[in-house]
């Protein structure tokens, strides 16, 4: 089964015990039963337009299938390792799979942990549930939902810094950094050597001025006016 999700293509071949292929669409099933049945990865179509009601719909879809005996519910039917707790699909998740769901809970978002997992179809619906929770939280605090999407820091996008402006050098030296100009080749001329020495002098001067102004440091040969008068 080929799945396109978030711009990435992933291949899934799921098998349920006693079944060789996912169940096809059955018009006799209700929307809830169809969503809980095993099948291909697809987006859950909500019946309601209210976010809180949509959250309840997804909780009903993702709730673990119970065991029944004479109409009495007891335990969980598919509470086994590597089996979907909703439909019973057998699926082994890889460590680096971005769709790998967390450990299922008997109350979906709370309760005791279960031994099973979610199949790719219901894992995608669990991701819908998480996004819906973030949207409800954003609406509650008067924020936009886009504010909850993770963003890469600007520094990581730009990569390592290779050049420094004069303001960058002044800011770094003021913070305590000692910056050494890059070493030149052996074929450097006298002009290159002079430029390098001037750059080092400027850096040391900026650092010296920062320390003297911030900490009130005075040179040893500079005495206040009152002390000079006493010496005379």
Q: Could you tell me the pTM of the whole model? A: 0.52
pLDDT, averaged across the chain: 75
Domain residue limits, the chain: 2-148, 154-231
19 versus 67: which is more confidently predicted? 67
Q: What percent of the chain has pLDDT over 70?
A: 69
Residue 225 CB partners (closer than 8 Å, separation 6+): none
Phi-psi region at 64: left, alpha or beta (left = phi > 0; alpha = psi -120 to 50): beta
What would the pLDDT profile of 46-68 be if each residue is shown by its tens digit? 888 888 899 999 999 999 998 88
Question: Using CB atoms within 10 A of its CB, is residue 86 exposed (0-12), middle (13-18) or buried (19+)?
Answer: buried
145 versus 222: which is more confidently predicted? 145
Pairing of strands 89-90, 15-16: antiparallel
187 versus 17: which is more confidently predicted? 187
Looking at residue 146, its pLDDT comes to 61
Tell me the CA distances in angstroms from 205 to 8, 88, 105, 160, 172, one per residue in order: 54, 72, 63, 27, 13
What would the pLDDT profile of 72-115 be if each residue is shown by its tens digit? 878 888 889 999 999 999 999 988 888 899 999 988 999 899 99
């Amino acid at each position: 089964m080929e799945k396109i999700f978030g711009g990435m293509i992933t291949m899934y071949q799921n098998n349920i015990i006693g079944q060789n292929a996912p169940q096809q669409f059955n018009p006799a099933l209700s929307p809830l039963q169809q969503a809980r049945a095993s099948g291909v990865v697809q987006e859950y179509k909500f019946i309601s337009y209210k976010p809180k009601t949509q959250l309840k719909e997804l909780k009903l879809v993702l709730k673990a299938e119970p065991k029944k005996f004479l109409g009495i519910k007891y335990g969980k039917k598919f509470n086994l390792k590597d089996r979907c707790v909703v439909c019973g699909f057998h699926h082994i998740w890889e460590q680096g799979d971005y769709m790998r769901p967390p450990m299922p809970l008997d109350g979906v978002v709370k309760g005791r942990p279960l031994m099973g997992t979610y199949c790719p179809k219901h894992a995608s619906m669990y991701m819908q549930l998480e996004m819906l929770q973030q949207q409800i939280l954003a609406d509650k605090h008067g924020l936009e939902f886009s504010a909850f999407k993770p963003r890469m820091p600007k520094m990581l996008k730009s990569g390592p810094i290779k050049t420094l402006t004069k303001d960058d050098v002044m800011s770094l030296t003021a913070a305590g950094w000692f910056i050494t100009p890059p070493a030149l080749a052996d074929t450097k001329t006298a002009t290159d050597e002079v430029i390098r020495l001037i750059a080092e002098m400027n850096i040391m001067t900026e650092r010296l001025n920062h320390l003297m102004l911030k900490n009130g440091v005075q040179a040893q040969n500079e005495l206040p006016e009152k002390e000079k008068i006493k010496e005379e």
